[in-house]
Homo-oligomer: A and B are copies of this chain.
């Protein structure tokens, strides 16, 4: 394993797409390849960031835990995505935790290496800025929808988010194995409430389930339900 930055699958799509070959080599020498089992914590709320992660494979949730034990998922991360940059930029402790939703591989890049890179390559810095702006926009969307939409619509939206994030178009229908607990933390509601609306969707032939696996049969209907067009 231990992929090289210069031949990495995400060389032309990651945050580092505008790095020179030299810069990539340097990155490659200093990076540290890590493997995480499903459920494993990649970084933990309250800790100091030592660098950032570049996800190579798998799925990650970034979430925060309330005092009452409830969890809220802030962001879903897929392969090719960068993880943990916000606290690094702000130079603050992690305000959320990153937990592998599946077996995950990620390269760790130290803070000093990263800071050096954004200081020396303006393009990387401005790509990073655009990424921040985009994630901020996404988060604002989430906030507004959470405040305005009922659970049914938010669930439809969450299923579409899972699909758009993790579908690699290998089969006709998108399937994902996700616990109802995790799904409810994405939607921002109780586990049972998610299950109930999921049952409705099943009756309407929009999704099917087998254990914790959910298959989306009618993405078009979900789009309609989510009112994402407005």
Contact = CB atoms under 8 A, between A and B. Distances in A.
Interface of A: 64, 66-68, 70, 72, 74, 86, 89-90, 92, 95-96, 119, 122, 125-126, 128-130, 132-137, 139-144, 146-149, 188, 227, 230
A125 B136 contact: no
Given A129-B132, A132-B133, A135-B136, A70 B146 contact: no
B132 A72 contact: no
Closest 6 CB pairs of A and B: A147-B188, A67-B230, A89-B133, A66-B148, A132-B132, A90-B133
B147 A72 contact: yes
A140 B70 contact: no
A222 to B, nearest CB: 17
A140 B139 contact: yes
Contacts of A95: 137, 140-141
8 contacts: A64-B144, A67-B230, A72-B147, A86-B133, A89-B129, A122-B122, A125-B126, A139-B139
B86 A144 contact: no
A66 to B, nearest CB: 4
A137 B92 contact: yes
Contacts of A66: 144, 148-149, 230
B140 A96 contact: yes
Contacts of A230: 66-67
A139 B148 CA distance: 16
Contacts of A146: 143, 146-147, 188
A136 B86 contact: yes
